Structure 1
Amino acid sequence: MRAIRQVTGFDYIIVGAGSAGCVLADRLSRSGRHKVLILEAGGRGRSPWIALPLGYGKTFFDPAVNWKYESEREEALAGRAGYWPRGKGVGGSGAINALVYARGVPQDFDDWEAAGATGWGWTSVQQSYEAMETQVAPDGQRHGTGPLHVQDVSDQIHPANRHFFAAAAELGLPSTDNINDASGEGATTYRINTSGGRRMHSARAFLTPALKRKNVTLMTDALVERITFDGRRAVSVQVRRRGRSMSIAAGREIILSAGAVASPGLLQRSGIGPAELLRRHGIEIVDDQPQVGGNLQDHLGINYYFRATEPTLNNVLSPLTGKIRAALHYALWRRGPLSLSVNQCGGYFRSGQSLTRPDQQLYFNPVTYTTTPEGKREVIRPDPFAGFILGFQPSRPTSRGRIDICSADISAAPLIRPNSLATEEDRAQVIAGGRLCQRLATTAALDGLIEAAMGADLRQMTDADILADFRERCGTVFHPIGTCRMGTDTGTSVVCPKLKLHGFEGVRVVDASVFPNITSGNTNAPTMMLAHRAAELILEAA
């Protein structure tokens, strides 16, 4: 048996070069005092479709940059399994997402603090957001000095979006220029993290400058099999890379930033997790922590498709000539539809006047795309006729599921059990969101844009129809969180508010898996914020 190679000389080992890991690498290495190693299971993430904002459609099913996980079949979703894309490579899921940059509403983070995440209330996290961002206006003016550019693209969206804003106004719903303002409720053009017409994900904003420093090392194609402990202290990681195994020691800390799907699995394979599960897979139990892998939350969403009475992006991007024109426009000016997200407009809304906070996030996309018989979206093929999408996701679901290993082998896919629509509150929110979209679709503004519904007509649905249709067609919006939940109660959480693993030294978890509750919108921005703030906590300890 070949001896495992021993590697030393690093202060911090970061497992995962995704949205959180790239921020950590930059922040922890900036002083030059600490040697930082980033281990990434995927490749370098150099696909041109990653840099191109609308390249989302090309990476959605690409196994070179996407782990392409699937959840277990769920009776609550008509017996269907769910497709769970996760980023595979430098940049993580932020390299293949749809680019919507949504901080979340202030109450989300006050809820975190109330759930035991002391020090993570809105006042604290707002400072981290502002420190890492540069806001870029349509005319190029900039506000802020952070490395992450957040672009206002309201001057570039398709003219068909005006009908969505008119419909919201017709219903007396609010509007906002910026979803990320403290009062960012209402119809809006989504801000996206791009710069110069190219995706500005965590890898570009944070890791690229970090790698210019001599104290930073990136190792790709590196599968971390487990963490090794000396008593109650994490001391090293065992890594499989290109057929060889090595043990890499950390002088200070090991930081798991592998994401809400992979981080709990790494802890479980290291012997920290539900004892019964570990015994079943022949893993030596280091600590029985049933909560590792639990508390999974995610957003479920649905789209309603309509043929349109006037041209939309379909008319631009479906014909070959249109594709060529869009490509030339992008090549010359880094603008136009290829530089934008597929999600152009939407916002946070309250489905009822009595609510004290938004309970729904809406999407309005001036494009439709054919769905294959397998239910996989062909977003790179707009339909050859004018069309648009109106969709929603309940913002704060209450159902909780689990993600666990199904084998001791690191190459085995995880067991994902979302436990969708398990509560009456979640089912009621689905009906409320469907009714809100129904009211929008029946305004004079949107009714005039609708030539015909594609499939079942939302405008004719009852409450029972809305829920049944949701069960049949909804899908994840790719926002899993909570599987290594942060809190003070060791019986219900995995890490403390400083993100240290309960009962251990030398190991933290820093990614979306530690969110105590899901935020109201897209989770990429709060994941980067969390890592930015976590770096401060780590450096304080150093």
Structure 2
Amino acid sequence: MPSANQVFDYIIVGAGPAGSVLANRLSADPRHNVLLLEAGGKDNYPWIHIPVGYLYCIGNPRTDWCFKTEAQAGLQGRSLSYPRGKVLGGSSSINGMIYMRGQASDYDRWAAQGNTGWAWNDVLPLFKRSQKHFAGNSDVHGSDGEWRVEQQRYSWPILDAFREAAAQSAIESVSDFNTGDNQGCGYFQVNQRRGVRWNASKAFLRPVLKRPNLTVLTDVQVDKVLLSQGRATHVKARWQGADHAFTARREIVLCAGAIGSPGILQRSGIGPRPLLESLGITVQHELPGVGGNLQDHLQLRLIFKLTKARTLNQVANSLWGKVGMALRYAYDRSGPLAMAPSQLGAFVKSDPDQPSANLQYHVQPLSLERFGEPLHTFPAFTASVCNLRPKSRGRVDIRSANPDDAPLIDPNYLSHPDDLKVAADAIRLTRRIVASPALQVFSPEEYLPGKALQTEQELYEAASRIGTTIFHPVGTCRMGQDAHAVVDAELRVHGVAGLRVADASIMPDIVSGNTCSPTLMIGEKAAQLILATPFHTQEQEAGVSRAPATPVA
């Protein structure tokens, strides 16, 4: 435990994927004294580790912050649940475990916007460094790292049939989505270790907790960063029922995610002046882009009833089915309990004019009205499809200066007309795939949104009715060089020395796929950038010596 006058070289706020890998890398040098602060608790809830347990972690206040969005005009006034991990490992402890990098063009586009060092050829070695891939080392994969990537241990005939139907619809079958071009249909690779979830805590924190120069504290509610003469020097937080100001000699790194990091900056007086002044917060440094540029993947969950098919719906709603699942999992860590929520995926173009695949499918041998609710009693599968590069933009802002108050989250879904067009095209494409011969033995019948909806306007209405988040918020502390950028290409907050942000919030544009592993890569990049900065340079900028200082009260 930290002593009353202890000073740390680096303070990391948030123990999600980026914060976990950053704490590991910085503390690998015994000269660095590192403090990692996590607002949630320990990742010792059993359902975190059993893969199908995501059904019991999302919407559970023990593991999820249980945020809600503002009512969305584009979703018929609905407010959506907005899951975010509330334990060590962050959202890697409650997500779908899919290992996905996105497309090479995503990162090349970041670099083309002036973010030097972020092109695909720059970040690929970082992906490989942390990876422990089941197939070993290759040009695109690594096997010497900590982030386990394995093949799934269970399959369903209905998913094999969907993959064949996709092939009949001119969507090529592929074996690996992570080579830089993910177009095609195949089974996702997952972050598991022999049928058990492999989160960022297991990968990067547990193996190094005995390092004397690494301190990890949980249940720490961070309020703000304190500045001294324009430099970030302390983190003000509540821990064990008392207020603390933890002191950083060199740098503070926010890794609290696309929802948490902009909130900490805003409470620190770093953000849009009108917002801060309206909440009575003194403006320490005006940065209008903090909290803006929110992007997310909106999924359309098309559900098809089946006949002559076995799905998780029947198995999970049967006493004997539950017993069988438990016995199978206890025996060899396989069966339905070892399932990732989405086993089969596809990346396709919504229309031929798209430069690369702009739709992602998550195909599931189950159906339910919404996550957190029971599975349907009838056999069915879900073909969830999302627009990978939405043009709609939203915001995340604090509601008050009180860190206990939930943030205002407004994704502004389907506010751009192009997103409506892509949604309608996605529904039509899904219907074409399901109508292919390979699936007809199961007699699929469209349950949602309903086959009667056919016109363009009806499909727009369908998208607004069934659309829901796939939990990929990014972009709220955007990397760039313009007036609305929050961090530069080295992840340093513009105009504030000693402060960086390293999480999904720095993405200028959302990646074309799941966001967990790209966020982990951002943590690797942050470590690379920080370790490339000589100690003496940081200390000269800070105006401090190696001697411990007394933290403020």
TM range (shorter): over 0.9
Show CA shifts across 1:200-244 (max 9, x none): 111110111121211111111111111111111111111111320
SS in 1 for 2:532: helix
| 1:13-92 equivalent positions in 2, closer than 5 A | 13-92=11-90
- Residue in 2 aligned with 1:284? 282
- 8 Å contact kept, 1:6–1:246: no
- Residue in 2 aligned with 1:261? 259
User: Which of 487, 500, 513 is matched with 1:508 structurally?
Assistant: 500
- 8 Å contact kept, 2:11–2:37: yes
How much has 1:118 moved relative to structure 2?
Answer: 1.5
| 1:40-189 equivalent positions in 2, closer than 5 A | 40-136=38-134, 144-153=143-152, 156-189=154-187
- 8 Å contact kept, 1:8–1:250: no
How much has 1:337 moved relative to structure 2?
Answer: 1.5
User: Which of 417, 424, 427 is matched with 1:431 structurally?
Assistant: 424
Matching residue's letter, 1:421: L
Show CA shifts across 1:52-84 (max 9, x none): 111000001110111100111121211111110
- 8 Å contact kept, 1:158–1:313: no
| 1:66-465 equivalent positions in 2, closer than 5 A | 66-136=64-134, 144-153=143-152, 156-309=154-307, 310-369=309-368, 371=369, 376-378=370-372, 381-458=374-451, 461-465=454-458
Show CA shifts across 1:391-436 (max 9, x none): 2001100111110110000000001111211222211111121121
- 8 Å contact kept, 2:480–2:489: yes
How much has 1:158 moved relative to structure 2?
Answer: 1.3
- 8 Å contact kept, 2:103–2:511: yes
Matching residue's letter, 1:505: A
How much has 1:455 moved relative to structure 2?
Answer: 4.2
Show CA shifts across 1:284-343 (max 9, x none): 110111111111111101111112122223233321111111111111211122112110
- Residue in 1 aligned with 2:528? 536
RMSD (CA atoms): 1.7
- 8 Å contact kept, 1:29–1:36: yes
C-alpha change, 1:337 and 1:143, in structure 2 (3 Å) is farther
2:451 and 2:174 map into 1 onto residues whose CA distance is: 26
Runs of 4+ that moved beyond 6 A: none
1:339 and 1:102 map into 2 onto residues whose CA distance is: 19
Matching residue's letter, 1:317: A
1:179 and 1:156 map into 2 onto residues whose CA distance is: 19
SS in 1 for 2:117: coil
Structure 1: stretches of 5+ with no match in the other structure: none
How high is the sequence identity, in percent, across the aligned residues? Answer: 39
| 1:510-529 equivalent positions in 2, closer than 5 A | 510-529=502-521
How much has 1:91 moved relative to structure 2?
Answer: 0.8
SS in 2 for 1:435: helix
C-alpha change, 1:459 and 1:183, in structure 2 (3 Å) is farther
Matching residue's letter, 1:365: Q
SS in 2 for 1:187: strand
Matching residue's letter, 1:49: W
How much has 1:451 moved relative to structure 2?
Answer: 4.2
User: Which of 453, 459, 465 is matched with 1:472 structurally?
Assistant: 465
- 8 Å contact kept, 2:453–2:459: no
How much has 1:143 moved relative to structure 2?
Answer: 5.8
**Normalised TM-score (structure 1):** 0.94
- 8 Å contact kept, 2:391–2:416: yes
Matching residue's letter, 2:327: L
Matching residue's letter, 2:371: R
- 8 Å contact kept, 1:25–1:210: no
1:455 and 1:401 map into 2 onto residues whose CA distance is: 27
Matching residue's letter, 1:14: I
Show CA shifts across 1:341-368 (max 9, x none): 1101012111223332001001211112
The worse-fitting range, judged by mean Cα deviation, of 419-428 and 118-127 is 419-428
2:256 and 2:444 map into 1 onto residues whose CA distance is: 45
Matching residue's letter, 2:352: Q
- 8 Å contact kept, 2:348–2:357: yes
Matching residue's letter, 1:392: V
1:447 and 1:378 map into 2 onto residues whose CA distance is: 30
- 8 Å contact kept, 2:287–2:484: no
2:444 and 2:256 map into 1 onto residues whose CA distance is: 45
**Normalised TM-score (structure 2):** 0.92
Structure 2: stretches of 5+ with no match in the other structure: 535-553
SS in 2 for 1:541: coil
Q: Give the total of aligned pairs.
A: 527
Show CA shifts across 1:14-42 (max 9, x none): 00111111010101111222011111111
- 8 Å contact kept, 1:442–1:459: no
1:294 and 1:509 map into 2 onto residues whose CA distance is: 15
1:384 and 1:468 map into 2 onto residues whose CA distance is: 27
SS in 1 for 2:233: strand
How much has 1:459 moved relative to structure 2?
Answer: 7.5
- 8 Å contact kept, 2:223–2:267: yes
2:532 and 2:32 map into 1 onto residues whose CA distance is: 13
Matching residue's letter, 2:274: E
